[in-house]
Structure 1
Amino acid sequence: MQSGSISLYVGLLHYRIVSSFQGCMMIKAGGFRYGDLVLDETCLSGSCNGKPVHFTKSERALLLAFCRNPRRLLSRNRLLDEIASSDAGPSERNIDFLISRLRAKLGDNARSPTYIATQYGEGYLWIAEPGQAAVRPMNAYLAILSALPHCGTLPRLNVGAFLAQLCEAIAEGLGPHRVVRVIEQGQDHADFSPRYSLRVSIHGYQEQMTCTATLQEMPSRRIVKAFSAQGYAGARAAIDSFVSRLSNDVIAHLRSLLTSRTTGLGVPEELSLEERLWNASDRLTTGSYQMWLAKGQQLSADRVSDPSIDTALQWCMHLFSRLALANPFSRFDFDERRRIENEMEAIALQGMPLVEGNPVQMLAVAKLLYFVNRGHLELALDIAERASDQMASSPAPLPLLAQIHSALGQSEEAIVLLDRGIEVASSNIEFLNHLRVLKCIALLAAGDSGSAARIIASIDDLGDHCPPDTAVAIRLMAAPTERKLPEALANALVAAGPDGAASALEYLYFTSARQHASPVAVANLMRGFTFHVTTVHGESAVPAFLRSDHPISQTSG
């Protein structure tokens, strides 16, 4: 090395040591405060929203790296260097899980981060500013705002109380899953991200009042409806009547918007709004796969008389169900699979311009594009996210959004979405089990086979909508490799024979693994099932394209 290069190297090394030392001194000078988050000088512990939080050695190493490098992108490799002396293994996926764990402890949201932001494909960065209060977007469906200062004199009217009463009435009418909030006059509402806003203006003289309200769709800024009410405001009963009339009009229109956005895929129109939301969810998940399978002949005939995109998408759901509900232990012809997927892809691509504005149909298109694994992941994510924006608090988009995030290697985002769905799905056992299985797949893809095995082991019955052979395949997929298979699973694998076991591996690959962009994630998903198959039937039972000497990426289905 030349002397100039040596001097430069020594200088850079000195700069890094001094910078690191100064960073440590800054932390030791009193720790860090980021609004509701307070960290001690070593990041060994802290408090978040007044509650104590403790960190592991690896988590502490990451926090120190972030605090020393605010607003700087840190690659996974750089973060791996930071935890090299800890007990974490040398895997980039360990970084993702540590970040996910940190976010959980800090109450952070991967999709709307306060502390740790993801730069997809590159790494992470710390975005919180020291001393500033954490800004958390409001998860609101409707924000009620007071418009310009009120004109005239209304001696008996308390405007704040009127808006609060209006908010309470609308919230009650819309149901518990759609949050309604009042934004007070002059309040900074940059951190509010509602689906709709209702701007209320009150004009009056003495005891005669006119109230107007404008409903606006926030993402598009489109004005969707204006409301007006007039009358006497000189008594409590009159004010109550005003609130009742205005809130009923707003509720009726919002519910009509929600109803129009749960049409498609044959959702029955006579159902209540809540029933329609859940019915739309079921029609995109295992809750309706058997129904789609049984309707094949009817849908084939319907397509002749009804060339609409909705009928075509229902036919695609039938084709999808043929693949998803095929017996895993019976071989599915490759040429037939390719023919089916070609048809699904063609209908989805041709239908994209026709489904805009109908979120149920948009989710169906996104699901098909995701499943066929032909380079459409980013497109599918865009369509699914825009559909989700239109469906407010419906759980329907959550499974698909999680699957796509998992396929793109964004495991923490996938888990957040699935956990959100699991929270609201407790009364719908089929939907709940579907989410649990998807969480198992996401964890397996990310390399956390232990957590995946615990999830499947916690499900006593996968439900009537999951055929027995499919349930066996799911349990084999998640069964730990370090323990002996349960007797029932071992007997099922023996009974399947080498050909049946090979077919089950193909089934797992085509329905759950190949959608993942990372070969490592694909290998993680296939590893456990392949281990059990080779243990019972030998390596010859593994299909050629899944063997280590045959790159998985060469197979497109």
Structure 2
Amino acid sequence: MNYERTTRYGDLVLDRECLFAIRGGNKVHFTRNERAILLALSRNPNLLMTRSRLLDEIEADEDRSDRYIDFLINRIRFKLDDNSKSSTFIHTRYGEGYTWVATQNAVVKIDAFLVIAAKFSPDRHIIGRDASALIERLHKAISAGVAPHKTILASENWRHGVKDKVRHLLHLNFQASGETIFCVVTLREMPSRRITMSFPVDLKPSNAASLTAGIDEISRTVVVALNRSLDNASTGLGLASGDPTEDRLQQTSIVLLGANPRWTSGAQLAEERAHHPGNADLAFQWCLHLFSRLTVANPFESVDLAERHRFEREIEATVLEHLPSAEDNPLLMFAAAKLLYYIDRGHLELAEDLADRALARTGDSTASFALMGQLRCARGRFDEAVEFFDRGTKQIDLGRDFQLHIRTMKCLALLAAGRRAALDAALAQIDTAPPCPHYIASMVDWTFSPHEQPLSAASARALAAIGPTGAANAIEYAYLTSVRQMISEQARANVMRGLIAQVMRVHGVSAIPAFFRSAIGLNAAA
């Protein structure tokens, strides 16, 4: 486990301010001057620190001789259990000075559904091994009560690292009194640190039946609270409440697809909204319906720009109106993030915040692989985007449409990043054979083919068949659905260049909508 204020060098744990060190289970403290010398050395690794330089670090009223520096170094070595003849930490350069030669361990990033953190009273020796064994038993009991793929970790005195991703924190505060161990159990939802459950338990380690009952009480209560949290986090967007939690979280991945036929019919939704105008869930479903009318379409057929603008303004106004209600529902937060990202009206930071917090609440990123990848891609963080998309490709149970969508998103990220070799390898994994619609197969071919090379004869005939108007519509569709959201002008140009080049070869420059050249920031046809 990583500690917020410590640094590791092999088996040595060193406080970042050199207040203490732990090695071999033994904790040692340093005097003021030892600390000053240790700080100077460890913060300048592999650099020679002369004795005169180290003298500048200690108090002015101390001994100012080289011999005093040697004395301090020997004291530090003794406390670190460092052998001067085969030094692990401080190397002597005879006649010159000293060098810190230890290599800092890589920081371990924690990605866990639950961390069990134990804190002991100062008289920990009274609790002894009994509490440690209890934590281990509790860890096993809670692990058995939640989904097997969820990571659960246990640690003493754990502190949340800046880059850690922890969904829930179970804090156990132990106090000993005679034969009884008093334990206060607190469950927090991370990263908000909102307390979702807290209660006391008295444990008697000497009484096996009492100890087992206490462990059962803690684990049972915690598991119920965790599962209730997951259940609440997977309710909404019209998903059947009777389905298992894990199934609903997976279904969300499909519900939030960029091209999901589920939302194309809005008659029933309109009727339900008329009866329940303040219902946030119905409002977001309606927005997904409008979104689908802009994305679930043949890309060769134009959507009137005035109508598109009206739909996007309605989506924006509705989402922003119902955001306060969405704060208690991660699925609605995912939907809000998806919609605000799509309409590209300056809400990218808000969309990222909503998605990140919803991801932390669900404890399972299955529902957000595609969305999180798109958000990272928009920021130009292409490696992170590809990582999300790759994790999504492993979810084969989500079906062929999801696989096609997320693999295409990965290819767009690689194309935007200008990584041609990786793109060619990723394209080999996309299945555009029937029943994949012919227009999707054609768009994939035209978009990802190298812009400097002509299309195959069959693909060129397909592009010719849609005429210059259909080709212009295809460019419009590609840009508005997948490209305009990218901040980088170069990334937008990288994605559009191939499609524009192929259209120009077949239909000439007149088929290129004029405003797209300025929209992408570069002349993508060049």
The TM-score bracket by the shorter chain reads 0.7 to 0.9
Identify the residue that residue 224 of structure 1 maps to in structure 2. Answer: 196
Please give the per-residue CA displacement for 1:58-82, whole angstroms capped at 9, x wherever unaligned.
Answer: xxxxxxxxxxx99xxxxxxxxxxxx
Change (3 A) 1:150 1:182: farther
Aligned with residue 269 of structure 1, among 241, 259, 279:
241
Equivalent-residue separation in structure 2 for 1:334 and 1:170 (angstroms): 54
Q: Does 1:194 align with 2:166?
A: yes
Equivalent-residue separation in structure 1 for 2:262 and 2:244 (angstroms): 21
Change (3 A) 1:349 1:188: closer
Equivalent-residue separation in structure 2 for 1:188 and 1:301 (angstroms): 51
User: 1:258–1:273: 8 Å Cα contact kept in structure 2?
Assistant: yes
Q: Does 1:541 align with 2:511?
A: yes
Identify the residue that residue 263 of structure 2 maps to in structure 1. Answer: 292
- What amino acid does structure 2 have at the position aligned with 1:362? M
Equivalent-residue separation in structure 1 for 2:341 and 2:437 (angstroms): 23
Equivalent-residue separation in structure 2 for 1:228 and 1:461 (angstroms): 58
Please give the per-residue CA displacement for 1:413-451, whole angstroms capped at 9, x wherever unaligned.
Answer: 32233233334x233234333221111111112222443
Aligned with residue 364 of structure 1, among 302, 313, 335:
335
Q: Does 1:379 align with 2:357?
A: no
Aligned with residue 408 of structure 2, among 437, 446, 450:
437
Greater Cα shift, 496-505 or 238-247: 238-247
Q: In structure 2, the residue corresponding to 1:226 is in which secondary structure? A: strand
Identify the residue that residue 305 of structure 1 maps to in structure 2. Answer: 275
Report the Cα offset of residue 278 of structure 1.
0.7
Equivalent-residue separation in structure 2 for 1:319 and 1:264 (angstroms): 18
User: 1:156–1:233: 8 Å Cα contact kept in structure 2?
Assistant: no
Alignment of 1:25-424 (within 5 A): 131-149=103-121, 158-184=130-156, 190=161, 193-201=165-173, 211-229=183-201, 239-286=211-258, 289-294=260-265, 296-307=266-277, 308-423=279-394
List alignment gaps of at least 5 residues for structure 2. 1-7, 11-43, 46-100
Change (3 A) 1:365 1:305: same
- What amino acid does structure 2 have at the position aligned with 1:378? E
Equivalent-residue separation in structure 2 for 1:379 and 1:155 (angstroms): 47
Change (3 A) 1:488 1:233: farther
Q: In structure 1, the residue corresponding to 2:198 is in which secondary structure? A: strand
Equivalent-residue separation in structure 1 for 2:420 and 2:299 (angstroms): 21
Q: In structure 2, the residue corresponding to 1:176 is in which secondary structure? A: coil
Report the Cα offset of residue 212 of structure 1.
4.2
Report the Cα offset of residue 504 of structure 1.
0.8
- What amino acid does structure 2 have at the position aligned with 1:222? R
Q: Does 1:528 align with 2:498?
A: yes
Change (3 A) 1:551 1:426: closer
Equivalent-residue separation in structure 1 for 2:402 and 2:201 (angstroms): 43
Report the Cα offset of residue 264 of structure 1.
2.0
Change (3 A) 1:357 1:377: same
- TM-score, L = length of structure 1: 0.68
Equivalent-residue separation in structure 2 for 1:482 and 1:454 (angstroms): 19
Report the Cα offset of residue 456 of structure 1.
2.6
User: 1:35–1:130: 8 Å Cα contact kept in structure 2?
Assistant: yes
User: 1:227–1:249: 8 Å Cα contact kept in structure 2?
Assistant: no
Please give the per-residue CA displacement for 1:274-327, whole angstroms capped at 9, x wherever unaligned.
Answer: 1111122221115x7111113x11111111011112111101101111111111
User: 2:493–2:521: 8 Å Cα contact kept in structure 1?
Assistant: no
User: 2:127–2:176: 8 Å Cα contact kept in structure 1?
Assistant: no
- What amino acid does structure 2 have at the position aligned with 1:224? T
Report the Cα offset of residue 520 of structure 1.
1.9
Equivalent-residue separation in structure 2 for 1:497 and 1:450 (angstroms): 32
Report the Cα offset of residue 235 of structure 1.
6.0
Equivalent-residue separation in structure 2 for 1:374 and 1:496 (angstroms): 31
Equivalent-residue separation in structure 2 for 1:526 and 1:497 (angstroms): 19
User: 1:228–1:246: 8 Å Cα contact kept in structure 2?
Assistant: no
User: 2:120–2:175: 8 Å Cα contact kept in structure 1?
Assistant: no
Change (3 A) 1:151 1:214: farther
Change (3 A) 1:551 1:398: closer
Report the Cα offset of residue 501 of structure 1.
1.4
Identify the residue that residue 456 of structure 1 maps to in structure 2. Answer: 427
Report the Cα offset of residue 232 of structure 1.
6.9
Please give the per-residue CA displacement for 1:326-367, whole angstroms capped at 9, x wherever unaligned.
Answer: 111112211111111111111122222231122211121121
List alignment gaps of at least 5 residues for structure 1. 1-33, 37-68, 71-128
User: 1:402–1:415: 8 Å Cα contact kept in structure 2?
Assistant: yes
- TM-score, L = length of structure 2: 0.72
Report the Cα offset of residue 237 of structure 1.
5.9
Identify the residue that residue 469 of structure 1 maps to in structure 2. Answer: 439
Q: In structure 2, the residue corresponding to 1:395 is in which secondary structure? A: helix
Equivalent-residue separation in structure 2 for 1:357 and 1:532 (angstroms): 47
Change (3 A) 1:553 1:531: closer
User: 2:112–2:150: 8 Å Cα contact kept in structure 1?
Assistant: yes
User: 2:237–2:285: 8 Å Cα contact kept in structure 1?
Assistant: yes
Q: Does 1:508 align with 2:445?
A: no
Q: In structure 1, the residue corresponding to 2:188 is in which secondary structure? A: strand
